Amino acid sequence: MTLAGTDRHQQLMWLMRLIVHRCSSGGSQSSGHLREVAEAFKGSEEEQAHTVERVGLQLMDAVVDFRGHLVKIVDSQKDLAVKALAAEMCARLDHGGAGDVEHFRQRFILDVGDALGLNQAHVQSARLDEAAQARFPPLTTSELLQAKARFLELFSVESVLDAFVSEVRSGPDGPAAHGSIASAFSQWAAERVLHEYSACQLEAHARAELDGELALALLETLFLGQPGCTASEASRGKEWIRAILGPSERPEEAPA
């Protein structure tokens, strides 16, 4: 095993124990996590390592708020773009087979991760991939510029919005939805609308009516404080959206 004796190997062993421990206690996503890890062990060593790292890090941060869920979606979409880009560059530079693609991707993440705002856990993992650094030289300035330009073509806001809408509308409901993005969204939204709608009502509306345009207005409100247009325009006549997008005002506390 090429990773044996490295710092990354120790990290992987720790994460694997974490995965087994967390998933053995059950939960709505435990079987999915275990299946994902098992499937990875049909592939290359680097694929196994990457999957163990990703699943383990997800489990370490298993309970997140709405913003955290969206950050995960962004990270996931960036990861897909990086995978596609690394495969393209590896083929163009004639860097060998599937195993080489995985190592080249780690080399790529190490070189451009900070500039592209990639997940720092992934960047740290790339730093520990000694085989990737030994096998591939750093990207040249020209290659870096080309890679950044191509990354911006592969990664888009639309892909993030589509993933957000899909996860909300098709995710688990009922008790199984605890900890899901739909549940986190409804809690965040309920805090903004005060008593106009309950969290359950907001979640039901989102599952039935959320689309890309509404999702964009919600993300603008979450990250920028307000949508790019008025709440009335952005809500398109949907009162539950208008209530969320409006100013989050709470009654002032009476002086003591």
pLDDT for the residue numbered 241? 93
Residues 49 and 111 in one domain: no
pLDDT for the residue numbered 250? 40
User: Would 80 be classed as within a structural domain?
Assistant: yes
| pLDDT band per the 50, 70, 90 thresholds, residue 254 | very low
User: What distance in Å separates the CA atoms of residue 107 and residue 122, rounded to the nearest whole number?
Assistant: 11
User: Would 240 be classed as within a structural domain?
Assistant: yes
- Range 167-179 burial, b when 16+ CB lie within 10 A, else e: bbeebeeeeebeb
Residues 70 and 151 in one domain: yes
Residues 140 and 70 in one domain: yes
Rounded mean pLDDT, 154-165: 93
Q: DSSP letters along 191-236, please? A: HHHTTSS-HHHHHHHHHHH--HHHHHHHHHHHHHSS-SS-HHHHHT
The number of folded domains in the chain is 3
Q: For residue 77, is pLDDT > 90? A: yes
User: Would 233 be classed as within a structural domain?
Assistant: yes
| pLDDT band per the 50, 70, 90 thresholds, residue 11 | confident
User: Would 255 be classed as within a structural domain?
Assistant: no
Residues 57 and 71 in one domain: no
Residues 74 and 127 in one domain: yes
Residues 185 and 222 in one domain: yes
CB 184 within 8 A of CB 62: no
Cα 18–chain centre separation: 20
User: What distance in Å separates the CA atoms of residue 244 and residue 231, rounded to the nearest whole number?
Assistant: 9
pLDDT for the residue numbered 213? 93
What is the span of the domain harbouring residue 86? 66-155
User: What distance in Å separates the CA atoms of residue 114 and residue 12, rounded to the nearest whole number?
Assistant: 23
Residues 148 and 84 in one domain: yes
Residues 44 and 90 in one domain: no
User: What distance in Å separates the CA atoms of residue 3 and residue 6, rounded to the nearest whole number?
Assistant: 6
Among the three residues 155, 190, 225, which one is the final residue of a domain in this structure? 155
| pLDDT band per the 50, 70, 90 thresholds, residue 95 | low
Rounded mean pLDDT, 167-186: 77
pLDDT in tens, 202-252: 999 999 999 999 999 999 999 998 898 888 888 888 999 999 998 644 444
Residues 163 and 238 in one domain: yes
> Dihedral sign, CA of 37, 40, 44, 46?
negative
Tokens for 174? Answer: 């009922």
pTM metric for this prediction: 0.67
Residues 45 and 77 in one domain: no
